[in-house]
C-alpha cells in the first residue's frame, strides 16, 4: 500500500535570493560601479550566512556584474560603454522588428502603461521607471506574436537595466522618454509599420547615444563599501 505522504513545501533557494537581491541593487544603481561588496555586511543585511553570499558572488562574477580586485575584495564591475553600445544595436533591430509586426496587428497599448511611466518619471522613482519601461517594450514584443524576439531581448536585459539605472540617476530627459513611447504606441495602433519601426529605432538609438554621453557623469567613484537598500 502506498503511504499518503505530506507534500514538502519547496525550500527557498538562498543563493538565488541573494543573487537576485544583489543583482537588483547593481542594476538599479544602489550598488554603483566600483562599489566594494563586503560579504560580512551583505550576509548581515540579508540575515543569511556567508556561504550563500559567496556562491551568489561567484555567479555574479561569471555573469560579468562583479569582479575581483586584488587587495580590495569584490567590486561592482564597471559598465563597458562599447559593449553596451553593441547590445543597444541589437536591441534597436529587435524592437523595430517587434514594432512592425505589432503594427500589422494594429496592437493597442494599454494607456495605463503610459500613465504609470509618466507617474514614475515625475516622482523620480528609478526602480518604477525601469519597470515601466520594461513593461512597455515587453508589451510590444508580446504583440509581435514572435516569442523569439522577447527571448533574445531577455538575454541581456539585466545589463540594459543596469545601464538605465546609472543613466536615470542624472538624466533630465525622463518624461520626454514617455512622449516617445506614446508616439510609438500610436503608430502601432494606427497600423503604420514604417513609422512604428522608424520611431522605435530612433528611440533606442537615442538612448544608446545618451548612455554614452551620460555614463561619464553617472559613474563617479563611490565610497569603499556600499549597503543594500533597506
> Helix, strand, or coil here: 36?
strand
**What does the pLDDT read at residue 169?**
72
Kindly give, in sequence order, each residue whose CB lies less than 8 Å from that of residue 33, ignoring residues fewer than 6 positions away. 76, 77, 78, 79, 166, 219, 222
In a domain, 227, yes or no: no
Instruction: Give the count of domains, the chain.
Output: 2
DSSP letters, 42-107, are HHHHHT--HHHHHHHHHHHHHTTSEEEETTTEEEEPPP-HHHHHHHHHHHHHHHHHHHHHHHHTT-
CATH code: domain of residue 27: 1.10.10.10
Q: Evaluate whether residue 183 is within a structural domain.
A: yes
Distance CA 85, CA 209 (A): 8
Tell me, what's the pLDDT at 223? 47
User: Over the chain, what is the mean pLDDT?
Assistant: 86
20 and 101 part of one domain: no
Range of the domain at 51: 14-76
Residue 216: per-residue pLDDT: 59
User: What is the per-residue pLDDT for 218?
Assistant: 52
49 and 93 assigned to the same domain: no
Q: What is the pLDDT of residue 156?
A: 86
Tens-binned pLDDT, residue by residue, of the chain (230 aa): 444 444 434 445 889 999 999 998 888 778 888 899 999 999 999 988 999 999 999 999 999 999 998 877 899 998 888 888 899 999 999 999 999 999 999 999 999 999 999 999 999 888 899 999 999 999 999 999 999 999 999 988 888 888 887 777 777 778 889 999 999 999 999 999 999 999 999 999 998 888 888 775 555 444 445 556 55
One domain for residues 48 and 153: no
In a domain, 225, yes or no: no
**What percent of the chain is helix, strand and coil (3-state, nearest 5)?**
65, 5, 30
Q: Which residue in this structure is represented by grid cell 575584495?
A: 73
Burial readout 36-61 (b: 16 or more C-beta within 10 A, e: otherwise): bbbeeebbeebebeeebbeebbebbe
- Residue reference for cell 551620460: 214
Question: How far apart, in Å, are the Cα atoms of 22 and each of 60, 129, 133, 143?
Answer: 9, 19, 21, 32
Same domain? For 88 and 179 the reply is: yes
- Give the global pTM: 0.78
Report the number of secondary-structure helices (H) and strands (E) in the chain. 10, 3
Contacts of 25 (CB under 8 A, 6+ apart): 31, 228, 229
Among 76, 93, 118, residue at a domain's last position: 76
pLDDT tens for 76-112 read 998 888 888 899 999 999 999 999 999 999 999 999 9
Say if 4 falls within a structural domain: no
Q: 89 and 60: one domain? A: no
- Residue at which a domain ends, from 76, 111, 128: 76
Q: Please tell me whether residues 205 and 94 are part of one structural domain.
A: yes
With respect to residue 201, please indicate whether it lies within any of the assigned structural domains.
Answer: yes
Nearest partner of 35 among 61, 67, 62, judged by Cα:
67
CATH value at residue 184: 1.20.120.530
What digits encode the pLDDT tens for the residues 39-57? Answer: 999 999 998 899 999 999 9
Amino acid at each position: 500500500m502506498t503511504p499518503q505522504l505530506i507534500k514538502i513545501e519547496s525550500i527557498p533557494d538562498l543563493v538565488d535570493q541573494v543573487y537576485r537581491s544583489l543583482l537588483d541593487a547593481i542594476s538599479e544603481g544602489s550598488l554603483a560601479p566600483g562599489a566594494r561588496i563586503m560579504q560580512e555586511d551583505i550576509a548581515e543585511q540579508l540575515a543569511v550566512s556567508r556561504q550563500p553570499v559567496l556562491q551568489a558572488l561567484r555567479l555574479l562574477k561569471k555573469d560579468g556584474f562583479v569582479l575581483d580586485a586584488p587587495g580590495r575584495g569584490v567590486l561592482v564591475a564597471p559598465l563597458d560603454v562599447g559593449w553596451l553600445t553593441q547590445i543597444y544595436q541589437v536591441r534597436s533591430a529587435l524592437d523595430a522588428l517587434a514594432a512592425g509586426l505589432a503594427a500589422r496587428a494594429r496592437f493597442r497599448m494599454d494607456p495605463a502603461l503610459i500613465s504609470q511611466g509618466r507617474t514614475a518619471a515625475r516622482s523620480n522613482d528609478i526602480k518604477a521607471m525601469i519597470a515601466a519601461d520594461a513593461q512597455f517594450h515587453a508589451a510590444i514584443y508580446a504583440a509581435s506574436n514572435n516569442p523569439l524576439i522577447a527571448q533574445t531581448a531577455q538575454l541581456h536585459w539585466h545589463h540594459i537595466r543596469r545601464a538605465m539605472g546609472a543613466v536615470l540617476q542624472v538624466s533630465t530627459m525622463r518624461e520626454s522618454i514617455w512622449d516617445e513611447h506614446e508616439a510609438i504606441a500610436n503608430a502601432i495602433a494606427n497600423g503604420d509599420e514604417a513609422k512604428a519601426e522608424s520611431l522605435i529605432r530612433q528611440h533606442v538609438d537615442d538612448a544608446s547615444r545618451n548612455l554614452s554621453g551620460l555614463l561619464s557623469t553617472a559613474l563617479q567613484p563611490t565610497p569603499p563599501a556600499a549597503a543594500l537598500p533597506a
